[in-house]
Amino acid sequence: MRGSPTDPSPSARHRRARRAAGAVASAALLLPLLGAAPYDGGWQASAPSARLQHAFADASAAYDVPQSVLLAVSYLQSRWDAHDGAPSVTGGYGPMHLTDARTAIARTVAPHHSDGAEDARGDDARGARLPAARKAPENTRLPARLKTLTKAAELSGIPAKRLRTDAAANVAGGAALLAAAQKQLGEPLSDDAADWYGAVARYSGADDTATAATYADDVFDVIRRGEERTTDAGQRITLGAQPRLRAATAQVRSAGLRAPAAGATECPGTVSCEWIPAPYEEFGDGDYGNHDLGDRPKSQSIKYIVVHDTEGAWDGVLDLVQDPTYVSWQYTLRSTDGHIAQHVKAKDVAWHAGNWYVNAKSIGLEHEGFLTAPDTWYTEAMYRSSARLVKYLSKKYGIPLDRQHILGHDTVPGTTTATIPGMHTDPGPYWDWEHYFALLGKPLHATAGPKGGLVTVAPRFAGNKPEFTGCVAKGEPCAAHGSSAVRLYTEPREDAPLVKDIGLRPTGADSTTDVNDLGSRVSTGQQYAVAARDGDWTAIWYLGQKAWFRNPEKQPTAVDAAGAVITPKAGLTEIPVYGRAYPEKEAYPEGVPVQSVSPLPYKLLAGQKYAAGDKVPGEYFYAPTFDTTPHRVVRGSDMYYEIQFGHRVAFVRAADVRVMPSA
Helix, strand or coil for residue 654? helix
Q: Are residues 57 and 162 in the same domain?
A: yes
- Domain for residue 574, yes or no? yes
Q: How many domains does the chain contain in total?
A: 4
Domain boundary among 561, 580, 608: 561
State the pairing for strand pair 362-367/331-333: parallel
Cis peptide bond upstream of 481, omega within 30: no
> Does some domain include residue 3?
no
Q: 34 falls in which pLDDT band (50, 70, 90)?
A: very low
Residue 86 counted as domain residue: yes
Q: Pick from 254, 271, 300: which residue ends a domain?
A: 254
- Span 240-265, pLDDT tens digits: 999 999 999 999 988 888 877 667 89
Determine, yes or no, domain membership for 346: yes
Do 489 and 367 lie in a common domain? no
User: How far are the Cα atoms of 84, 91, 420, 553, 644 from residue 650, in angstroms, in the given order?
Assistant: 39, 37, 12, 30, 6
Domain membership of residue 110 (yes or no) is yes
- N- to C-terminal Cα distance for the chain? 39
Does 404 lie in the same domain as 298?
yes
Residue 394 confidence (pLDDT) above 60: yes
- The reply to whether 114 and 207 lie within a common domain is no
CA proximity to 62, closest of 191, 205, 175: 175
* Whether residue 387 sits in one domain with residue 284: yes
CB-CB contact of 608 with 575 (8 Å): no
CATH code of the domain covering residue 294: 3.40.80.10
Coil, helix or strand at residue 291: strand
Instruction: Please give the residue range of the domain that contains residue 271.
Output: 103-142+261-442
pTM value > 0.85: yes
Beta bridge partners of 603: 576
User: 536 and 634 share a domain?
Assistant: no
**Are 216 and 87 in the same domain?**
yes
- Name which of 223-237, 292-306, 372-386, 444-458 the model is least confident about: 372-386
Last residue of a domain, one of 511, 528, 561: 561
Residues 277 and 376 in one domain: yes
Q: Are 378 and 300 contained in the same domain?
A: yes
User: Are 96 and 107 contained in the same domain?
Assistant: no
Write the pLDDT tens digit of every residue in 592-640: 999 998 999 999 999 999 999 999 999 999 999 999 999 999 999 999 9
CATH number of the domain enclosing 228: 1.10.530
**C-beta atoms surrounding 51 within 10 Å:** 19
Contacting residues for 638 by C-beta, under 8 A, at least 6 apart: 583, 584, 587, 617, 618, 653, 654, 655
User: Does residue 2 belong to any structural domain of this protein?
Assistant: no
Establish if 326 belongs to a structural domain: yes
Which pLDDT tens digit goes with each residue over 422-466?
A: 999 999 999 999 999 999 999 999 999 999 999 999 999 989 999
Residue 448 lies inside a defined structural domain of this protein: yes
Question: Is residue 477 domain-shared with residue 346, that is, in the same domain?
Answer: no
Pairing of strands 331-333, 340-342: antiparallel
> Is there a single domain that holds both residue 214 and residue 288?
no
